[in-house]
A and B are shown apart, each in its own frame.
Chain A
Amino acid sequence: MQELVGRLTALDPEASETLKVVSYFDALVAGGVGPDSLLRGAAVLSGAVAGYAARSSTRVKRVAPDGEPLGTTDAAASAWPSRETSDGSLVWLERTGPAHANDAMVLERLALAVAITSARRSNTADAAVEVVVTAGAAASERAVAATKLRLDCAPDVRVVVSLPDGPPPADGPAAVVATARGLVRVVLVDGPAVVPAGLRAGIGLGGPAERLPESFASALIALRLGTAAEPAVDAAQLGALLLLAEAADRHDERHPDASALAALDPRALAVLDAFADAGSVRQAASALGMHHSSVQARLDALAETLGYDPRTPTGRTRYALARALAALQRPGLG
């Protein structure tokens, strides 16, 4: 335990430590720091010099792992591993020798954090978006923010959320917000929301602006319920499942039905999903490209493993709920 008096050291060069990188940058973003702090974070985590060149200027920042600011170099001429941020700036790590296991993740989170920080600073609407969806903000503060966004009289406004590194899921006032499960892109949409096909997104419940924190909470649940087959989920379409999901989410311990699904191999899950979606063994077999008797046999075996038969009406409901709970139990935003 010499860490009691030891210093923070760079991450393991060989082991992937994604969670540490994510939580480190999330804490910096939540603290509202500037680009210098973000660069120092990247440098200390990677143990390499980190650099940043803003799109709008020729200004280059470089910082050593001990936090020492370094002289500038020609960023364009460098061949360091780099990443462009969504606002057109460039960040890089001056790694000599082979890349470390976490270099790509450090660059990704650095680029993301730099983009969020510069967006926050260039556009004050950003901060208002964050306030208006935050349950912890005072009602009066949220009302002021809603007025600023011209949403104070909107009867049917909702939050649409997506993962922060992808494109915005809809048009409207937007911000990237830190949540307990990581950063999320938030867009406020007045009226019904349509998101681009294939984009992971969660659409929150509609209502007046003062209920946007609830809309945000429901949008996050919807986002986390998304799958490859159904990447965008609308909380309004979840019905009572939203209520159950919110209740289940308050508990830390896993439900045994969800744990049972988490223990299955992907092919077994594909069979169960196909049956749940199709509603008949024959249609599930056709969707899977399998013979229906094989599907029947797999379902017989799975009913044994799960302790219930997903082909019965109650079993089908139970499976649907277990599937939703398993989705919610994925780390981060799923």
Chain B
Amino acid sequence: MTTTTTATRPRPPFDPELEAALTLIREQMPVTFTPELIPAMRSGFAGEAVLAEIAERGLVVRDVTIAGHAGDDIVVSVIERPGRTGTGPGIFHTHGGGMIIGDRWLGVPMFFDLIEQQNAVVVTVEYRLAPEFPDPYPVEDCYAGLAWTGANLEELGIDADRLIIAGGSAGGGLAAGTALLARDRSGPALAGQLLICPMIDDRDLTVSTEQIDGVGVWDRGSNLTGWNALLGDRRGTDDVSIYAAPARATDLSGLPPAYIDCGSAEVFRDEDVAYASRIWAAGGEAELHVWNGGFHGFDMMAPHAAVSRASVAARMNWVARILGV
């Protein structure tokens, strides 16, 4: 036996149902996404499945072209009930995909019940992706979409005090960054920020990133691929804004109530827990759930598992409380 191999840190075990799901997931995608895989990862991404579900539910969509970062055109989609009257809650959605893949439809279906049952309106933004459009394009495009939503609340039929921002993974990081921008630019006002396993720290310094290296979903190497695409040579240096990497923010006061969740066996665990702790330290509101044995995105990839169902139920329960439904 040689001792030249680096000892890997022990990590929390995966939930047994998720471990079983991983045996199938492993056949469909590599553990580590490298920059060369970005084009392949983007292929096959389309809103077709989500648009089909929208059609099946009889919801309506309209696309609006607005001015994004630097005044360039970007698209936001507004999803609502057909023939909708009155007002209701609004959800401004920023999709996930490691800052490098995905489109505005990704993750949106979790709000369809709210659209149907609570007269809610979803606005989802097609922000531009790294590495072609590095920081600050993604977060500034997201803020532009939120600012447009805030400026058109009446026309959109959204109650002024019931607009929340929501996103998962990179979308969670962008939602957190956009909420910081909204705070520092004095608007639009947000009633809550739903941060689902958010990607918020470019520094690669946590225990959890060491633990989830070459294992699970969206491992350390994949995460570095995403951050390097977004920040280039700036990643890990002092030249990164709190809006790109919200974990770097030292002042988390004055933010809307946050919901933060993650799995105990994912790279983002420690940065997400720390973000909640710092919100509390600043006297703010945060609800934190760390799901035992969860890998990144477990409740999206294996929604049938008991831990996934508990996670989704807790999340939607918070949304209902925040929106006062």
Q: Which residues of A contact B (CB under 8 A)?
A: 1-8, 20, 23-25, 27-28, 30-33, 36-37, 40-41, 43-44, 65-67
Name the contact of B19 in the complex, choosing from A31, A40, A43 (C-beta under 8 A): A31
A92 to B96: give the CA distance in the assembly, Å.
38
Contact A33 to B16, CB < 8 A, known contacts A5-B297, A7-B303: yes
B interface size (C-beta, 8 A): 37
**A-B CB contact pairs (8 Å), 15 listed:** A1-B37, A4-B29, A6-B301, A8-B302, A20-B23, A24-B20, A24-B24, A25-B20, A27-B19, A30-B16, A30-B19, A32-B16, A33-B17, A37-B17, A44-B304
Contact call B41/A4, Cβ cutoff below 8 A: yes
A180 CA to B212 CA, complexed, in Å = 23
- CB under 8 Å from chain A, chain B span 98-148: 101-102, 106-107
Tell me, yes or no, whether B309 is within 8 Å of chain A by CB.
Answer: yes
Which residues of chain B come closer than 8 Å to A65, judged between CB atoms?
304
Contact A27–B23 (Cβ < 8 Å): yes
Complex interface: chain A residues within 8 A of B40 (CB): 1
Q: Given the complex, which residues of A lie within 8 Å of B5, measured CB to CB?
A: none
CB distance from A68 to the nearest CB of B (A): 8
Q: In the complex, what residues of A have CB within 8 A of residue B280's CB?
A: none
CB distance from B288 to the nearest CB of A (A): 23
Would A41 and B302 be within 8 Å (CB), given that A5-B102, A5-B106, A23-B23 are in contact?
no
Residue numbers in A under 8 Å from B96 (CB-CB)? 5
Q: With both chains docked as a complex, state the minimum distance between the C-beta of B268 and any C-beta of chain A, in angstroms.
A: 15
Task: Name the residue in B16, B40, B300, B306 with the highest tally of chain A Cβ atoms < 10 Å from its Cβ.
Answer: B16
A226 → B minimal CB distance (Å): 27
Which single member of A7, A41, A43 contacts B301 (CB below 8 Å)?
Answer: A7
A1 touches B41 (CB 8 A): yes
Bound complex: CA A40 to CA B16 (Å)? 12
* Closest A-B pairs by Cβ, 5 of them: A31-B16, A67-B304, A27-B20, A3-B28, A2-B44
Please give, as numbers and ranges, the residues of chain B lying within 8 Å of A27 by CB-CB distance.
16, 19-20, 22-23
Provide the residues of chain B in CB contact with A36, threshold 8 Å.
Answer: 306
Known A7-B302, A8-B302; judge A1-B20 contact (CB<8 A): no
In the assembled complex, B215 has its CB within 8 A of some CB on chain A: no
Chain A residues with CB under 8 Å of B169's CB are 5
- In the complex the two chains form, is A37's CB within 8 Å of B16's CB? yes
Please tell me if the beta carbons of B16 and A8 are within 8 angstroms of each other in the complex: no
Q: Does B178 contact A (CB under 8 A)?
A: no
Q: In the complex the two chains form, is A8's CB within 8 Å of B21's CB?
A: yes
* Mask: chain B, 276-307; 1 = CB below 8 Å from A; 0 = not: 00000000000000000000010011111110
A40 to B21, CA, bound (A): 11
Closest CB in chain B relative to A206 CB, distance in Å = 30
- B29 contacts which of A3, A25, A66 (Cβ < 8 Å)? A3
Which residues of B have CB within 8 Å of A6? Answer: 301
Looking at the assembled complex, report how far the CB atom of B293 sits from the nearest CB atom of chain A, in whole angstroms.
Answer: 9
Task: Report chain A residues within 8 Å CB of B45.
Answer: 2
Instruction: Contacts A8-B303, A20-B23, A37-B306 known; list 7 others, CB within 8 Å.
Output: A5-B169, A7-B300, A7-B302, A8-B301, A27-B22, A30-B16, A30-B19
Please report the C-alpha to C-alpha distance between residue A28 and residue B18 in the assembled complex, in whole angstroms: 9
Flag whether B322 is at the interface (Cβ < 8 A). no
Q: Does B74 contact A (CB under 8 A)?
A: no
The residue in B304, B305, B306, B309 that gathers the most chain A C-beta atoms within 10 A of its C-beta is: B304
Give bound CA distance, A31 to B20, whole Å. Answer: 9
Give the CA-CA distance A2 to B37 in the complex, in Å: 12
Q: A20-B24, A24-B23, A24-B24 given as contacts; is B17 within 8 A of A40 (CB)? A: yes
Residue of B nearest to A32 (CB): B16
CA of A141 to CA of B169, assembled, Å: 42
Docked CA distance A37–B302 (Å) = 12
A278 to chain B, nearest CB (A): 45
Cα distance A27–B20 in the bound complex, in angstroms: 5
B36 interfacial contact with A, CB 8 Å: no
Chain A contacts for B102, CB-based, 8 A: 5
In the docked arrangement, what's the CA distance between A304 and B194, Å? 71
- The answer, among A3, A41, A44, for a CB contact under 8 Å with B25, is A3
Is B309 a contact partner of A28 (Cβ separation < 8 A)?
no
Contact of A8 among B15, B19, B24, B41 (CB under 8 A): B24
Q: Taking CB as reference atom, which chain B residue is nearest A67? A: B304
Smallest beta-carbon distance A146→chain B, Å = 27
Contact check, B23 vs A67: say whether CB atoms are below 8 A apart.
no
* B308 at interface by CB-CB < 8 Å: yes
Q: When A1-B40, A27-B16, A41-B17 are in contact, do A8 and B304 touch as well, CB less than 8 Å?
A: yes
Q: Which of chain A's residues has its CB closest to B297's CB?
A: A5
Shortest CB–CB separation between residue B305 and chain A, in angstroms? 7
A106 CB, min distance to chain B CBs, angstroms: 13
